[in-house]
């Protein structure tokens, strides 16, 4: 398709003053005929300019998109090759529900060049999507017309949980495991012998190795590492409260990101990791396994899951864990609570895990609620909003106090920080051999 350019329209507009001048100095008939001839010449030149573009069309391809991460900026790359100088405009048919850094791309290309055009897309939901064809407009050499066409580039794509964050976490855990960063090792709380070192003031004298001390003629102390190959089981709530939008993503998306981050940390430390997703019933059950290949299984199993408008059955989910998981394990429940009723049900379920298991309740907070609660108001509407926010925070704190009193570990953090803080807490628990 050929589309006139701005230059073409401007040249056509020049016919108006030309018509007026000819009408004044010659006659109306001559001015009309001259104007028609002038406009036809411009249109013919524009048509020819657009047709000539087809002989030297640029070539464009989209690099394979691979796996996209929800809630992150993902790079999309287009490669353009041209034999002749070209001015182009490119529109990629990405899923319209996702925000992008650039709606269209423009480039001025010299002859015999290959250039890369990029834009960022920020998926705000997981699932299967389709990228369509690429639309291109190329300006003719005279600048009178654009030639427009499509390049077939339809591609199905799956938007996964935060794989970019998982890659960063993998690097961190690998560095820690290889000793390039300080290892989380505690004296006296481990069960596996790691090494001997010289005794220093404050060390537990019960850990002195007297035989080694006698041989070396100086006090040496045993350094113990936390026990490996334990079991970590994660219960992820996908009920009503997890459907809420927090900082651009559903709370359930933040929960999946936290689940996979914790699973990665557990697998890197040699633990078995299992995951269950529940609402009124346990809808997804992945038995505990170890090994890095298990993480891929978890990612594929969780990617297409979505939250539902149902109240979660905490007791039912915990009961299945108790029935299926006979060995002691760290059981992490990732959820959210806003009222006394929900927290009472959660507390009853968590109490069923003690003392055989180590229960750990993780809730996903919303910084917007904290901001509203701690912002002074000057009108009735904002005062009501602040009162509600303060009441929500009060009920949360009451619930957390009840859980802690019963021996349940608790972590409440903003959604965008929950993954990092949860991994840190888990590594701390491993270092203290609380599992």
- Concatenating the DSSP letter of every residue in 400-416 gives HHHHHHTT-EEEEEEGG
pLDDT tens-place string over residues 191-200: 555 577 787 7
**pLDDT score, position 193:** 56
Which stretches does DSSP call E strand in 24-133? 59-62, 68-69, 74-82, 86-92, 105-109, 113-121, 127-131
> Before 355, cis peptide (omega within 30)?
yes
Q: What separation in angstroms does the CA of 369 have from each of 242, 342, 385, 396?
A: 16, 18, 9, 12
Question: Between 71 and 207, where is the model more confident?
Answer: 71
- pLDDT for residue 263 is more than 90: yes
Mean pLDDT, all residues of the chain: 87
- pLDDT for residue 383 is more than 80: yes
Whether CATH 3.40.50.300 fits 231-431: no
Q: Where are the chain's structural domains? A: 2-55, 57-159, 187-225, 231-431
Question: Between 31 and 354, where is the model more confident?
Answer: 354
Under the banding of pLDDT at 50, 70 and 90, the label for residue 322 is very high
Question: How far is it, in rounded angstroms, from Cα 342 to Cα 352?
Answer: 16
Query: Does the reported pTM lie above 0.85?
Result: no
pLDDT (mean) for 56-72: 92
Task: Kindly state the percentage of the chain with pLDDT values over 90.
Answer: 51
Question: Between 181 and 146, where is the model more confident?
Answer: 146
Structure tokens at 237: 């709530």
Give the CATH architecture of domain 57-159: Sandwich (2.60)
Question: How far is it, in rounded angstroms, from Cα 97 to Cα 252?
Answer: 19
**231-431 matches 57-159 in CATH topology:** no
- pLDDT for residue 183 is more than 70: no
**pLDDT score, position 224:** 63
Structure tokens at 352: 């069923």
Question: Between 289 and 24, where is the model more confident?
Answer: 289
Dihedral angle, C-alpha 151, 154, 158, 163, nearest 10 °: -20
């Amino acid at each position: 398709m050929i589309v006139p350019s701005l230059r073409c329209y401007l040249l056509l507009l020049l016919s108006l003053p030309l018509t007026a001048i000819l009408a004044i100095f010659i006659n109306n008939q001559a001015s009309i005929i001259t104007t028609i001839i002038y406009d036809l010449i411009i249109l013919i030149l524009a048509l020819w300019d657009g047709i000539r573009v087809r002989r030297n069309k640029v070539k464009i391809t989209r690099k394979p998109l691979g796996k996209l991460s929800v809630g992150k900026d993902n790079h999309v790359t287009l490669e353009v090759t041209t034999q002749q100088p070209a001015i182009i405009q490119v529109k990629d048919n990405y899923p319209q529900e996702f925000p992008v850094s650039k709606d269209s791309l423009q480039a001025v290309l010299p002859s015999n060049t290959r250039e890369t055009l990029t834009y960022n897309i920020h998926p705000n939901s997981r699932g299967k999507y389709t990228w369509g064809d690429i639309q291109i407009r190329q300006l003719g050499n005279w600048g009178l017309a654009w030639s427009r066409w499509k390049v077939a580039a339809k591609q199905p794509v799956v938007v996964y949980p935060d794989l970019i964050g998982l890659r960063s976490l993998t690097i961190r855990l690998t560095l820690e495991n290889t000793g390039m960063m300080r290892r989380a090792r505690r004296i006296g709380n481990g069960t596996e012998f790691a090494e001997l070192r010289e005794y220093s003031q404050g060390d537990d004298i019960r850990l002195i190795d007297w035989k080694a001390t006698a041989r070396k003629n100086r006090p040496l102390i045993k350094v113990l590492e936390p026990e490996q190959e334990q079991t970590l089981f994660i219960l992820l709530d996908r009920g009503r409260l997890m459907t809420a939008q927090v900082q651009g993503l559903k709370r359930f998306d933040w929960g999946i990101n936290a689940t996979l981050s914790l699973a990665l940390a557990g697998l890197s430390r040699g633990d078995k990791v299992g995951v269950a997703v529940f609402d009124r019933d346990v809808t997804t059950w992945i038995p505990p396994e170890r090994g890095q290949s298990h993480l891929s299984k978890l990612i594929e199993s969780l990617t297409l899951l979505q939250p539902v408008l149902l109240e979660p059955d905490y007791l039912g989910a915990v009961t299945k864990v108790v029935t299926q998981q006979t060995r002691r394990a760290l059981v992490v429940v990732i959820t959210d609570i806003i009222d006394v009723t929900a927290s009472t049900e959660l507390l009853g379920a968590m109490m069923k895990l003690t003392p055989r298991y180590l229960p750990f309740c993780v809730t996903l907070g919303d910084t917007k609620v904290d901001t509203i609660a701690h912002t002074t108001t000057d009108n009735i509407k904002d005062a009501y909003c602040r009162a509600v926010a303060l009441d929500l925070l009060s009920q949360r704190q009451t619930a957390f106090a009840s859980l802690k009193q019963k021996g349940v570990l608790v972590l409440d953090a903003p959604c965008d920080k929950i993954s990092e803080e949860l991994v840190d807490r888990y590594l701390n628990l491993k270092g203290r051999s609380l599992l």
